Amino acid sequence: MNRLKSVALAAAALCVGIAPALAQEVTLRVHHFLPAPAPVPKNFITPWAEKVMEESDGRIKVEVYPSMQLGGGPPALFDQARDGVVDIVWTLPGYTPGRFPGTEAFELPFMPAKAEATSQAFWDFYEKYLTEEFKDVHPIALHVHGPGLLHVKGDGVSKLEDMKGLKLRGPTRQTNALLNALGATPVGMPVPAMPEALSKGVIDGTVVPWEVTTPLKVAELVGSHTDFEGPRGLYTATFVFAMNKAKYDSLPDDLKAVIDANSGREMSKWVGRVMDEGDAPGLVAAENAGNTIRKLPEDEVARWKAAADPVVEAWVAEVTEKGYDGAAMVEDAKAMISKYADAN
């Protein structure tokens, strides 16, 4: 009897030793470029991290590092995730111009609806066209911001001719091509550099959604804001929330399942909705600052669309030469966006 008891105790001790190994714990470091109080960090990245920690019963620990606290500039973020310098990043493919040509279909002129609808469409577009472009990382969400608009010093822009000669910050290659086609001089820079460039007169204005104007206090640096009538905005930029591939592959199946449950179209929809909700405070801040806020009528918007058509044609020709079906991608992007936008 004593011998059986000893065997049982030894087996129990062995099980205790095995349990920690089975219950693997991991830490994921998330790196991004905006201050922690900005809408996406506050209302998506942090809640996402908390959700993952809770659903993993604390076995996944997520540490979030805003404002490039782990070093480098915003254009380095994608490679930090690819190379395992950090585990997860939130960034713009457009910060590395020409590297993700397929994503630019969603950045073409007058393509986007609201961010929640367009972000769901962008995830669908990724699954059909962009898996090769993002093969070096494990995407968690792909999304866009709300329809972008013009924020300009002084009287600003009330007609197409007012764009001539303006130095305007643009976020991506296609947005810069659009600004050039509209008569402005595009100045490419990551969004954190924009307030200083405005205050020092390096640029006359910027294109961003309302959402980002609040944390960067854009309303205090410009005098006018120009939006556009119609169901589609002037432009948008694409974003990726992605994980180091080797880190994901190293997770045990049950922790992979936690990440999988917090990835995909629904996460893209969530962050898109956060972008849309973040637009409202930006508009209020501009109103409180006494700035001029205008929305160009549809007949004037038609002139802008005509001026922008060559940008779309040039993109289709360029990516078709690289082996993409550019024309089909544009039509699919429009159809996918309409699917979600028209359902609301």
Total domains in the chain come to 2
- Asked if 174 and 41 sit in the same domain, the reply is no
Q: What is the pLDDT of residue 343?
A: 86
Q: What is the pLDDT of residue 14?
A: 43
Q: Is residue 94 part of a domain?
A: yes
Share of the chain above pLDDT 90, in %: 90
- Asked if 315 and 264 sit in the same domain, the reply is no
In 3D, which of 257, 322, 264 has the Cα closest to residue 101? 322
Min mean pLDDT across 19-23, 158-162, 163-167, 238-242 is at 19-23
What is the tens place of the pLDDT at every residue in 107-133? 999 999 999 999 999 999 999 999 999
- Asked if 225 and 254 sit in the same domain, the reply is no
Structure tokens at 206: 């910027």
Q: How far is CA 228 from CA 30, 295, 312, 320, in A?
A: 35, 5, 19, 30
User: Final residue of a domain: which of 277, 306, 328?
Assistant: 277
- Asked if 334 and 192 sit in the same domain, the reply is yes
- Asked if 230 and 336 sit in the same domain, the reply is yes
Structure tokens at 84: 């395992």
- Asked if 33 and 85 sit in the same domain, the reply is yes
- Asked if 201 and 328 sit in the same domain, the reply is yes
Residue with the bigger pLDDT between 162 and 11: it is 162
Q: Is residue 7 part of a domain?
A: no
- In the predicted model, what is the mean pLDDT of residues 293-320? 98
Structure tokens at 67: 């404002």
- Asked if 156 and 217 sit in the same domain, the reply is yes
Q: Domain limits at 326?
A: 149-235+291-341
pTM: 0.90
- Asked if 159 and 89 sit in the same domain, the reply is no
Q: Is residue 286 part of a domain?
A: no
**What confidence category does residue 22 fall into, taking pLDDT thresholds of 50, 70 and 90?**
low
- Asked if 296 and 184 sit in the same domain, the reply is yes
Residue with the bigger pLDDT between 313 and 20: it is 313
Q: Is residue 1 part of a domain?
A: no
Can you tell me the distance from the alpha carbon of 80 to that of 131, in angstroms, rounded to the nearest whole number?
A: 19
Q: Is residue 2 part of a domain?
A: no
Q: Is residue 34 part of a domain?
A: yes
- Asked if 74 and 139 sit in the same domain, the reply is yes
Q: What is the pLDDT of residue 292?
A: 98
- Asked if 79 and 224 sit in the same domain, the reply is no
Contact 166, 146 (CB under 8 A): no
Q: Is residue 243 part of a domain?
A: yes
User: Final residue of a domain: which of 221, 245, 277?
Assistant: 277
Q: Is residue 323 part of a domain?
A: yes
Position 17 pLDDT exceeds 70: no
What is the tens place of the pLDDT at every residue in 218-231? 999 999 999 999 99
Q: Residue 139 sits in a domain of what CATH number?
A: 3.40.190.170
- In the predicted model, what is the mean pLDDT of residues 169-192? 95
Q: What is the pLDDT of residue 210?
A: 96
